[in-house]
Amino acid sequence: MCRRAMTQEEISPQQPWMETCILSAVLLAAAASCFGVDLGSRVDACVQTAMAQYDVPGLAVAVVVDGEIVYERGYGVKHRHQGGAVNAHTLFRHGSVGKMMTGAAVMRLVDQGVVDLDDPATEYVPELHFAPGPWTADQMTVRHLITNSAAIPSFRSSPEGTLSEWAETLDEVTLLAKPGAFYNYSNSNFALADLVVERASGMAFNDYVEAELFHPAGMNDSTRDPSKAVASGNYSFGHADDGTIYAPDDYIEMVEGFTSAHDLALFGRMMLSGGGELLSEASCEAAQDRQVPMYHSPGRPTSIDGGYYGFGIFVDDYPSGTVRRHGGGIPGWVAQIAWVREQGFVVAILANSWPAAFTGVDEAAQCILAAETGVTMPDMSVPSDPETWGRLSGVYDAVYDDGYRFEVVVERSGDDLLMTAPNPHDPAQNITRILENLHHGTFRFWASSGSWWDITFISHPGNPPPVRWLRNQRFVGLRRDVRPPAGRRVVP
């Protein structure tokens, strides 16, 4: 099978709207300068600094302290050229922040006794099949879907049609690993979880979310329907860095929605209050618990132990505290919500700029957290001992998210660890690079200047634990029980 050349976005999957950068010196200075003034002034300083740095036309923020929204405000304009003041109830597309909403929707059905997390997904979607391979659909549980451990390759653009129509296309998709083997971020996992909600509830997913999630949570601004967003009259236009401007109904996403900073803060408040009227206390706790280890998440400041994932929620531990959060980015808009349970603090931010603004809203959230809670998010990366790298050596049979199969060879050479794989620019050619150790078992493979793959080696239980998997968001390799050949040519 011939391999097409990959685009720049495919080579470096940690695209700007998916990245979470360490708090910049500018934002850190904004946070530090705010002590001694009121909360609103501190939030304003963090937000306005980020807006100026990332050229954001409009943004909204809301802050919850001890169960109450204590500050909410809009900044800038809904449309860069036509104006219109943003306020805390202005609607923005929310992107992948919706994953935590899917997790909550599933857990509401669990509370009602309609869904069991450990049921196979085929219990609810019996027609589900994947391309022939060692792993099958009936090995995949609902729990795997909402913990991003189902091993379904992530779709690169939102599919058209209904969830059921999209699911019918999965018989052409190859699972990257055994479901449940490890965390690997994928939009497809949550789209299939959305279909489980549809089938189990008997309602269209978007209708279910509006009736059974937004309404109990008091999220009265929010909607899943672009026409309703426009009809509200209080909506933002999306702005891309290339100059493209999007109206809310310029495109329709299969599982996409609109929310306001006010409503997103209410969702965070619900998670802090034990589930409110939406979830049982046990389900609310489970949703934001450390369900699966991430080991490392590309583009994010590495937290202690590499971080964890709950049911659509990132859980990151730092010396100063634990932050639960999720971001979202979709052409034209970005979002970020973060909360510190121990201090009853939530910050929700939405902006109408993309993709660079994803970094901006995350930095603004970090700035606000630092100023208001004292919780900072330094990079906690801990490189591993080169003496342990020998156990990573081997030949890995890899599969890319489009089904392309290839071989990856990893070998120790002195104090270096080498990796040989197809050149993403010319797949007929193999290239060998020295792997750069980032954190424990995570390394960076530089395909070329500015283009890289983050590779995480994942072990199975044992003493010592045998390395079994090589993971990247776009491809996964399963290790053969053989030693690699020697004498590879290294390109620095």
What pLDDT band is residue 424 in, cutting at 50, 70 and 90?
confident
Distance spanning both ends of the chain, measured CA to CA: 29
How far CA 388 is from CA of 101, 190, 463, 467, in Å, comes to 41, 36, 14, 11
Nearest residue to 309 (alpha-carbon basis) of 435, 130, 464, 189: 189
The two tokens of residue 332 are 């034209």
Dmax over Cα atoms in the chain, in whole Å?
66
Distance, CA of 136 to CA of 142 (rounded, Å): 14
Q: What is the percent of the chain where pLDDT is above 70? A: 88
Specify the amino acid at residue 334: V
pLDDT, tens digit (0-9, with 9 covering 90-100), for 209-235 = 999 999 999 999 999 999 999 999 999
The CA-CA-CA angle for residues 481, 6, 473, to 5°, reads: 50
Supply the DSSP symbol for 392: G
At 344-353, the pLDDT tens digits run 999 999 999 9
pTM beyond cutoff 0.85: yes
Q: Which two tokens stand for residue 198?
A: 């549809």
Contact 148, 157 (CB under 8 A): no
CATH level 3 topology of 383-479: Lipocalin (2.40.128)
Q: Which CATH architecture has domain 13-380?
A: 3-Layer(aba) Sandwich (3.40)
Mean pLDDT of 108-122: 98
Kindly tell me the burial class for residue 478, based on how many C-beta atoms sit within 10 Å of its own C-beta (0-12, 13-18, 19 or more). Answer: middle
Delimit the domains of the chain by residue range. Answer: 13-380, 383-479
DSSP string, 258-325: EE-HHHHHHHHHHHHTTTTTTS-HHHHHHHTS--EE-S--TTS---GGG-EE-SS-EEEEETTEEEEE
DSSP-derived 3-state class of residue 29: helix
pLDDT at position 255, please?
64
- What is the reported pLDDT for 29? 53
Answer for the pair 332, 238: CB distance below 8 angstroms, yes or no: yes
pLDDT of residue 37: 61
At 240 the pLDDT is 98
pLDDT tens digits, 121-145: 999 999 999 999 999 999 999 999 9
Give the contacts of 346 (CB within 8 A, at least 6 positions apart). 62, 63, 64, 265, 268, 269, 272, 337, 338, 339
The two three-digit tokens of residue 438, written as one number: 């980032």
- What pLDDT digit, counting tens, does each position of 306-342 carry? 999 999 999 999 999 999 999 999 999 999 999 999 9
- Rounded CA gap, 286 and 104, in Å? 10
pLDDT at residue number 463: 64
